[in-house]
Amino acid sequence: MSKESRMRATINQKLTEMGERERLKEILRAKLTECGWKDQMKAHCKEVIKEKGLEHVTVEDLMVEITPKGRALVPDSVKKELLHRIRAFLSQHAT
Amino acid sequence: MKMEDMPLSGPDNTKLEALVHDIYSELVEDACLGLCFEVHRAVKQGYFFLDETDQESMKEFEIVDQPGVDIFGQVYNQWKNKECECPNCKRLIAASRFAPHLEKCLGMGRNSSRIANRRLASNNNMSKSESDQEDNDDLNDNDWSYGAEKKAKKRKSDKNQNSPRRSKSLKHKNGELGSSISTEPYKYNYSTGISYESLGPDEVRSLLSTQCGVISEHTKKMCTRSQRCPQHTDEQRRAVRVFLLGPSAPPLPDTDPVVESDSFDIPDGQTLMSRLQWEDSPDISPADSASSKTSTNHSDSRKPKKKKRTSLSLNSGGGGGGGGGGVGVSLTGGCSSGSSSQSNISLSTKKKRPKLTGPSISSIYDDLN
């Protein structure tokens, strides 16, 4: 187990150090905006805010509401693309 | 591929996959968090609901999603089949062509002024230099380059055209001809060249003696270029003369219809040589009985050559071997002797007098000079 956790730590470190993490983040954001995921989520936010009232909205509230839906709404193509990239990175740099 | 490849042992593979998915989930959560921060800030700053303030206008401009209509609710091919009446020319024009038609019809807009200017310029050019004009087709093909050429030749054509034609224009009451002839070049109409139907036989004859005169198929007008204009052949010129003046048409001022071997393409030096070649035949004939008959026959048949031959005969008589030398020279000059008999003569003489080529050449030139 520790081996595994060590491996994970190493990989995460590499991801960050090589800038791959940032790159993947940007790619994901761009793709989600392109496919309309962002607008969908914003509409959902509006509903939540209207429910909760404009003045008392907190970041945590939003997070709790949005994240599960967000995760579900990611289109399959985007998900596959990203998984593929991550796997490619791992195969190149894993010990 | 540095260290490990994709296909791994079972448990490792699943672990790797799990890792991949974990990384993916982290990335997605990051994106969600970023969105939350954005929204929260917008809410707190007060601009989140800014586009929803006016309910009425929101309903007015709602996105339309019906068949046959765009998202604004407009029918996009509504005016396809409609026709409008032009206020200028009173014609019914299709709606999509209405605007360009109006532009041309009213004479406003960039394009129409450009076209009008071009037309005016070409009209002015044509009226001032008609002698260099052949067909309207040519004019249309070479708009810009031709215009430049015409401007350069303008004065020349005025000189040539004015004097002989002024008398003609007085004789003829034909309005078209009067305008086409350059006494008043500025009133020139679009057509150029001369219409042969309106000319009398005398005018036709004098015209044909100075100009090409070939009648263009497109415009039925006579070519106003010189006798040697490259656009028409001598055959055409002769045919026109026969057509206009009858079968007894006078010969073309430039001789040459008879000899096939002597074509116009030969430059002057070589025509001289070819005439020298003919010059040989009377000299050769007494010496060579076999060739004499053929040579004399040929010499008889070529009428226009006779005059020149006699003038040269004196010279060649002076230089005895001039004949052979002349032949040699003409052959080397590359004169095209089309008829076989001619070549026979020249070959036979070549055989007989090869020795005399050297000194005789200089003698011929001296005599000619």
- Closest-CA distance of chain A to residue B71, Å: 18
Q: Which residues 40-99 of B are in CB contact (within 8 Å) with A?
A: 40, 43-44, 48-49
Is B190 within 8 Å of B125 (Cβ atoms)?
Answer: no
Amino acid at B214: V
pLDDT at B37: 93
pLDDT at B200: 76
pLDDT at B316 exceeding the cut of 80: no
User: Nearest Cβ partner of A63 from B5, B21, B33?
Assistant: B33
Helices marked H in B224-339: 234-245, 268-287, 289-301, 305-318, 322-332
Q: Who wins on pLDDT, B191 or B95? A: B95
Pairing of the two strands B221-222 and B194-195: antiparallel
Q: What ipTM was estimated for this complex?
A: 0.94
Q: Cβ of B64: how many Cβ atoms within 10 Å?
A: 11
Q: Who wins on pLDDT, B115 or A79? A: A79
Mutation site for B-interface testing, chosen from A63, A73, A92 by largest number of B Cβ within 10 Å:
A63
pLDDT at B68 exceeding the cut of 60: yes
Q: How confident is the model at residue B130 (pLDDT cuts 50, 70, 90)?
A: low
- pLDDT over 90, % of chain B: 8
B15 touches chain A (CB under 8 A): yes
Q: Which residues 2-61 of A are in CB contact (within 8 Å) with B?
A: 4, 7-8, 11-12, 15, 21, 24-25, 28-29, 32, 38, 41-42, 45-46, 49, 54, 57-59
Q: How confident is the model at residue B70 (pLDDT cuts 50, 70, 90)?
A: confident
Least confident of A24-28, B75-79, B176-180: B176-180
pLDDT digits (tens, 9 = 90+) for B90-105: 888 888 888 888 888 8
Unique residue bearing structure tokens 């983040």: A25
Nearest one of B254, B260, B231 to B339, comparing CA atoms: B260
Q: How confident is the model at residue B41 (pLDDT cuts 50, 70, 90)?
A: very high
Is B14 within 8 Å of A3 (Cβ atoms)?
Answer: no
Mean pLDDT, residues B23-27 taken together = 94
The angle, 0 to 180 degrees and rounded to 10, between the axes of the packed helices B305-318 and B268-287 is: 70
Unique residue bearing structure tokens 């009067």: B178
Q: Around B168, how many Cα atoms within 13 Å sit in the side-chain half-sphere? A: 25
d(CA B276, CA B329) in angstroms, rounded, equals 9
Give the gyration radius of chain A's Cα atoms.
Answer: 17
pLDDT at B357 exceeding the cut of 80: no
- Closest-CA distance of chain A to residue B19, Å: 7
d(CA B27, CA A82) in angstroms, rounded, equals 9
Task: Determine the 3-state secondary structure of B173 from DSSP.
Answer: coil
Residue A32, CA distances (Å) to A26, A39, B151 in order: 10, 9, 68
Its sign, for the CA torsion B131, B160, B170, B212, is negative
Nearest one of B274, B228, B230 to B252, comparing CA atoms: B228
Is B91 within 8 Å of B85 (Cβ atoms)?
Answer: yes
Phi, psi of B264 (to 5 degrees): -65, -20
What is the model's pTM?
A: 0.39
Mutation site for B-interface testing, chosen from A4, A35, A65, A93 by largest number of B Cβ within 10 Å:
A4
d(CA B183, CA A20) in angstroms, rounded, equals 88
Q: Who wins on pLDDT, A23 or B210? A: A23
Task: Determine the 3-state secondary structure of A62 from DSSP.
Answer: helix
Mutation site for B-interface testing, chosen from A90, A92, A95 by largest number of B Cβ within 10 Å:
A90
pLDDT at B216: 79
A94 touches chain B (CB under 8 A): yes
Q: Is B262 buried (19+), middle (13-18) or exposed (0-12) by CB count in 10 A?
A: buried
pLDDT at A86: 93
Alpha carbon B112 to chain centroid, angstroms: 26
pLDDT at B340 exceeding the cut of 50: no
Q: Cβ of B324: how many Cβ atoms within 10 Å?
A: 25
* pLDDT, chain B, mean: 65
Q: Which residues 225-284 of B are in CB contact (within 8 Å) with A?
A: none
Chain B CB contacts of A21 under 8 Å are 27
Mean pLDDT, residues B293-299 taken together = 47
d(CA B147, CA B139) in angstroms, rounded, equals 8
Chain B CB contacts of A15 under 8 Å are 23
Amino acid at B187: K
Residue B340, CA distances (Å) to A54, B260, B295, B347 in order: 114, 12, 12, 10
DSSP-assigned states of every residue in B83-108 = EEE-TTT--EEEGGGHHHHHHHHHT-
pLDDT at B179 exceeding the cut of 70: no
Q: How confident is the model at residue B175 (pLDDT cuts 50, 70, 90)?
A: very low
Mean pLDDT, residues B261-279 taken together = 52
Mean pLDDT, residues B233-245 taken together = 85
| Largest pairwise CA distance in chain A | 51
Mutation site for A-interface testing, chosen from B12, B27, B30, B48 by largest number of A Cβ within 10 Å:
B27
- pLDDT over 70, % of chain B: 46
Structure tokens, A76 = 């399959």
pLDDT at A1: 67
d(CA B352, CA B284) in angstroms, rounded, equals 10
pLDDT digits (tens, 9 = 90+) for A1-60: 688 889 889 999 999 999 999 999 999 999 999 999 999 999 999 988 888 888 888 888
Chain A residue at shortest CA distance from B50: A46
pLDDT at B58: 81
- Cβ within 8 Å of residue B123, ≥6 positions away: B188, B190
Q: Cβ of B309: how many Cβ atoms within 10 Å?
A: 18
pLDDT at B209: 82
Chain B residue at shortest CA distance from A80: B24
- Residues found in chain A: 95
Task: Determine the 3-state secondary structure of B215 from DSSP.
Answer: strand
Q: Who wins on pLDDT, B174 or B39? A: B39
Q: Who wins on pLDDT, B23 or B61? A: B23
User: Nearest Cβ partner of B3 from A38, A49, A94?
Assistant: A94
CB spacing of A83 vs B33 below 8 angstroms = no
Mean pLDDT, residues B230-255 taken together = 75
d(CA B113, CA B121) in angstroms, rounded, equals 12
